[in-house]
């Protein structure tokens, strides 16, 4: 039998809109018990116990309300009780809260369902795996649709802004549409800071991405990442299912190919206990509510500026790459794709050169046509007969 305090907590959580399965996990009982207690008008009475009344008794329902609202700091609760007339010690308050702390250990929270097409949650995870014959840290981004639980995974070498944006671009392409809002944690790729008045200052690049696709940018409150609990759980799901099955990859391209195959053949066919449907089935309901994708994908390439030397080369990450001779002495814009393709643009925005990024040990990368005008400007060498030198020697 559950305690009187558990009865009041079950009633309070249900009043706040919590699902029965979440209440059962939180209290530590079965769903059947939760339903039985919800049907009772008052706490069940077991065998009466003889105990001394406590000064805390009248305030226990209020404490339960605070715990249900995720207020677990005993000192804070003690101060609130004193404001309400409590004259006992803080030891009684701590003694009452302490046995309930295991309820908080899992950090479960009330789960609110979103309407079809309304929200996507984004998060990064990492694990250790063999990549190209070497054990290294592998980063993977999980993007999950809130309604259907259909999700996409994309892996990359870093968790920077460009890779974050590319993971969302790939997710929108995979889903065939765009949600109304995207909820992120407070990573610098998306959020610069939270002002004291609660205003969120988003990264300019993330806002450009949002404007390009037409979604609303949203972020979790600081110190509360479980606001996006759906994607937090999927990060764990990927680690304990996909990366337990696959442990070695030739490249990130190979890894992403396996991830998408696993999504299509396994992950989206899993049964969701709460809904008794698969993500694939619920996604069919959600797909018509997604926004259409624009004609062109967002450009996630790295951007920078370089000055062209008089030898018609630019320096990029320790190696040198040729550009047309007419660009000598000018500034050019460069774009570097996430797979290492370098594209150079002149001041008018016209593409003037393209190279595959290489290590410095492979030498300077040169396109012969770029330097032909330079060779034509070189002064011709004067040719003399050897007889001239023979006369000098005589």
Name the most confidently modeled range: 19-33, 168-182, 358-372.
168-182
Q: What mean pLDDT is predicted for residues 316-330? A: 90
- Going by pLDDT thresholds of 50, 70 and 90, the confidence category of residue 267 is confident
Q: What is the largest CA-CA distance in the chain?
A: 134
Q: What mean pLDDT is predicted for residues 117-143? A: 91
330-377 pLDDT per residue, tens: 999 999 988 889 999 998 889 999 999 888 888 898 888 888 777 666
Strand segments (E) across 100-180:
119-131, 134-145, 151-156
Cross-strand pairs, 121: 144, 183
Tokens of 376: 């034509």
- For residue 377, count CB atoms less than 10 angstroms from its CB and return exposed for 0-12, middle for 13-18, buried for 19 or more: exposed
SS3 247: coil
- Going by pLDDT thresholds of 50, 70 and 90, the confidence category of residue 393 is low
Best CA proximity match to 313, nearest among 334, 292, 294: 334
Tokens of 134: 């070497």
C-beta of residue 104 within 8 angstroms of C-beta of residue 213: no
Is the pLDDT at 237 greater than 70? The verdict is yes
- Going by pLDDT thresholds of 50, 70 and 90, the confidence category of residue 220 is confident
Average pLDDT, the chain: 84
Q: What are the C-alpha distances in Å from 333 to residues 17, 209, 346?
A: 53, 20, 6
How far apart (Å, rounded) are the C-alpha atoms in residues 226 and 295? 34
Q: Where do the domains of the chain lie, and which CATH numbers do they carry?
A: 4-105 (no CATH), 119-289 (3.30.420.10), 302-377 (2.30.30)
Radius of gyration over every alpha carbon of the chain, rounded to an integer in angstroms: 32
- Going by pLDDT thresholds of 50, 70 and 90, the confidence category of residue 163 is very high
Is the pLDDT at 387 greater than 80? The verdict is no
How far apart (Å, rounded) are the C-alpha atoms in residues 282 and 102? 34
How far apart (Å, rounded) are the C-alpha atoms in residues 231 and 141? 10
């Amino acid at each position: 039998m559950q305690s009187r305090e558990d009865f009041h907590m079950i009633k309070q959580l249900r009043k706040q809109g919590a699902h029965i399965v979440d209440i059962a996990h939180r209290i530590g009982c079965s769903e059947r018990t939760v339903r039985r207690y919800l049907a009772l008008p008052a706490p069940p009475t077991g065998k009466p116990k003889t105990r001394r009344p406590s000064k805390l008794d009248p305030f226990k329902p209020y404490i339960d309300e605070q715990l249900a609202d995720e207020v677990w700091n005993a000192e804070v609760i003690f101060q609130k009780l004193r404001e309400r007339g409590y004259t006992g010690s803080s030891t009684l308050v701590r003694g009452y809260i302490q046995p309930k702390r295991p309820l908080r250990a899992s950090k479960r929270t009330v789960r609110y369902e979103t309407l079809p097409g309304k929200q996507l949650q984004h998060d990064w995870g990492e694990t250790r795996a063999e990549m190209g014959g070497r054990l290294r840290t592998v980063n993977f981004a999980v993007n999950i649709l809130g309604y259907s639980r259909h999700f996409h995974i994309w892996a990359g070498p870093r968790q920077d802004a460009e890779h974050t944006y590319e993971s969302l671009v790939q997710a929108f392409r995979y889903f065939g549409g765009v949600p109304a809002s995207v909820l992120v944690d407070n990573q610098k790729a998306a959020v610069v800071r939270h002002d004291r008045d609660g205003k969120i200052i988003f990264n300019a690049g993330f806002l450009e991405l949002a404007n390009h696709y037409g979604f609303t940018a949203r972020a979790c409150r600081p110190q509360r990442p479980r606001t996006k609990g759906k994607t937090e759980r999927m990060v764990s799901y990927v680690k304990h299912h996909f990366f337990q099955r696959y442990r070695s990859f030739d490249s990130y391209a190979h890894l992403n190919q396996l991830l998408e195959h696993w999504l299509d053949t396994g992950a989206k066919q899993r049964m969701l206990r709460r809904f008794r449907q698969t993500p694939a089935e619920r996604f069919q309901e959600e797909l018509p509510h997604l926004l259409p994708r624009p004609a062109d994908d967002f450009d996630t390439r790295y951007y920078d500026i370089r000055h062209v030397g008089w030898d018609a080369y630019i320096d990029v990450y320790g190696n040198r790459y040729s550009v047309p001779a007419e660009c000598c002495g000018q500034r050019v814009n460069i774009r570097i794709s996430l797979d290492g393709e370098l594209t150079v643009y002149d001041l008018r925005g016209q593409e003037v050169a393209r190279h595959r990024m290489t290590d410095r040990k492979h030498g300077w990368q040169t396109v012969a046509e770029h330097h032909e005008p330079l060779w034509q400007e070189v002064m011709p060498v004067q040719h003399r007969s050897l007889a001239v030198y023979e006369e000098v020697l005589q």
